[in-house]
Structure 1
Amino acid sequence: MRGGLLVTGGSGAIGGALCHLAARSGPVWIGYGEGAGRAEALAGRIAQEGGTATPIHLPSQVPVAIEAALAAIPAAEAPRAVALCGWPAPLVAPFGRQGEDLNRQAAALVGCHAVLASAWRLWWRRAGGGHVAAVLTAAAEPPVARHMAAYVAQKTALLGLLRAAAAELGAAGLQVSAVSPGYVETPMLDAFDPRLLERARTEAGGSFLSPERVARVLLDTLKSPAPCGTVQEIHVNDEVESDEKHPA
């Protein structure tokens, strides 16, 4: 992966693990919404290990603030890749109650668009391209998970957004990847009934994916992108199930 990496949700479990790994080979920007303290602490640990990490506030519900934050990064130092890792936990409830969660989930989608559009406009269009990788979810794949309709709908919309970006900007150098993990051991699991998680862990062989495992897949993806104009979709369970490159 050439150049630095900007990670949204960099103060979270998967994003934080990715920042820690990526900082071994280049500068990282730790994007955060409400996790300022966690982002600062992570930047400190990375610095102690000889890396370079800069916290950056990226409030998903305020696109103009996102663009202003990215505009403050000098073009000569701008990251050549973005990882979209930040996302709110789902509301686990029947379909009829999901309406209250649609706006919250949609705000995350708006934030992803703002980050990608700003990165393209501020840096990558002039540089001849860049790479965006996003964390999706196996919950949106058949059979679609129940009781998470808003989360599934907006994650599916994120994949559509990535495909649209690849179709429009791929000829000018945009590379796009999407990684879909199953259950991952993160604080997001607090949204679920412990009995459901116990059954799911049993079905998964006793444990879920670790954030570090997903982060390694993301980093490998960033190092080996698909051709421009396509979306590289990678499905992650206990092992990487596929590494297919689909037309946008």
Structure 2
Amino acid sequence: MIGLLAAAALATAQPAPESQPLTIGETVTLEALGEEHGVNIVLPIGYADEPDRRWPVVYLLDGGVTQDLFMGAGLQRWNTIWGRSADAIVVGIETKNRQRELLPPTSDPAERERWPTAGESAAVRVWIAETVKPLIEARYRHDGTAVLVGESAAGHFVVETWAQKPQMFTGYAAISPSLQWDFEALSRTPLGEGKRPPLYISLADEGGATETGMMRLLDALPEAQPFCFSDRRTELRHATALHGLLPEALQYLLPTGVDYLDEYGFTLRCDRRGGPR
């Protein structure tokens, strides 16, 4: 008994182990539309140890530290562990007023009344093209692959960018995009000629004008356009779409070419598919 008490006293006397900071990335503060926005960069594990290696970049809208940054970076890391998608630099772009920053003007009186500041997506697109992307490309070792990812209003921004400024990115992922906006105007706009980069696009249980806008957009896609449409209307809610489908979107846009994914249940599900990659 004395021995046990002595051992317990010795254990309690040991100094507590020191803690160390857990650093997962870097952040830069930039100004857009008169407000400060955090641009958060999560580098691949091993980035510092492989000075000759270059990496794809995933630009995640709504990527603030209180938004989707940690989920997006975590799912990207999880994909990499399984070989489901290529490892990448994750750039989270913080939004402050989502309707203002991510959506174009609307002619719908109800939308204007509910979101009176909405409609400056074009200015944000210029900011990303002329400020955010050049900064990332100058500071980090990228390989020229750059994909834009967004959900809901951010998904509308993704489709709008893909339609209007397709060469800004090499791939696009729009998860449950808000295609009901402005009487479904984005799905009614002619796409014009020319092949655009690959587009991953999905639909959950949104229904209504979001669904009719999606189907109109899909029907308008040229035959040669590479795209993957994941139809999850009976499986996912709007609230569960992003974390449910981001891994699949990255699998489509950043393929690894490994031959075992189906064996582990990582089958790329494209309920409608177009054009060769």
Could you tell me the TM-score, scaled by structure 2's length? 0.39
Larger Rg: 2
Could you tell me the TM-score, scaled by structure 1's length? 0.43
Decide which structure has greater helix share. 1
